[in-house]
Structure 1
């Protein structure tokens, strides 16, 4: 991957629907040369997919929280994945360092539905307790690939 590939990726991150000709005009290549590079980046797995992002509020999921998850004893990441995958309000989860075992990002319609989702997590085997922070406003929102 070279500097032109990186620039193409940056432009596609901003707008995955950009025309190859428009990208080419910025990076100094023809549309067909940009297409060949994008095809190669896809084949190599550098670009995994093209997608859209929808404002969760338009889908009725305007309440969000970050939740620290604390477990009893040792719980494998596979078991945590099983527990958290069963809760549709969980949009992201990862194991973390520190006193919590995992951090979970949840989205729901409102506070009562968030509370129900949190309860489904809390009653799971090996879950000791959670600590939640409800998001009041988003300040920076960058997406990672």
Structure 2
């Protein structure tokens, strides 16, 4: 973390926030031996430098209205134009995340939809993108852990 200008106390604060993003600066300060004001200053510095890029709420997918989630592993032709492929993924509304991978799979694409039919349509759109040579889709049954 030192290459980002962070010290071990910053690291401890960040780990505590990952565990509980709603922790107060006072509680964080008590846990790391600092005042709430010192934690506030550190957090402002980490936000300004881009180490902390935002805060979010994770909703239950059923409350969110998109209970169907899948992971699609995509392989592409060796000469595929990556920016064009990635624009293709971005053009599909049900695509919520795309990871460029090293290894035997080129991309992992996360899709979600309100119905199984929406998920099916998204997978078909991915299959039709120029340069896609094969896909393998897995429906996500339940989330076991997310940190």
TM range (shorter): 0.7 to 0.9
Choose which of 15, 37, 40 in structure 1 pairs with 2:42: 37
Q: Which residue of 2 aligns with 1:59?
A: 64
> Are residue 127 (structure 1) and residue 127 (structure 2) matched?
no
Aligned CA-pair RMSD: 1.7
CA distance in 2, matches of 1:89, 1:78: 19
Structure 1 residue 73 displacement after superposition = 4.3
Change (3 A) 1:2 1:57: same
CA distance in 2, matches of 1:138, 1:39: 32
Kept in 1: contact 2:85–2:129 (CA 8 A): no
Count of matched residue positions in the alignment of Structure 1 and Structure 2: 142
Give unpaired runs (5+ residues) of structure 1.
none
Q: Which residue of 2 aligns with 1:91?
A: 96
Kept in 1: contact 2:70–2:140 (CA 8 A): yes
Give unpaired runs (5+ residues) of structure 2.
1-5
Under a length normalisation based on structure 2, what TM-score does the superposition of the two structures give? 0.85
Structure 1 residue 43 displacement after superposition = 2.1
Under a length normalisation based on structure 1, what TM-score does the superposition of the two structures give? 0.86
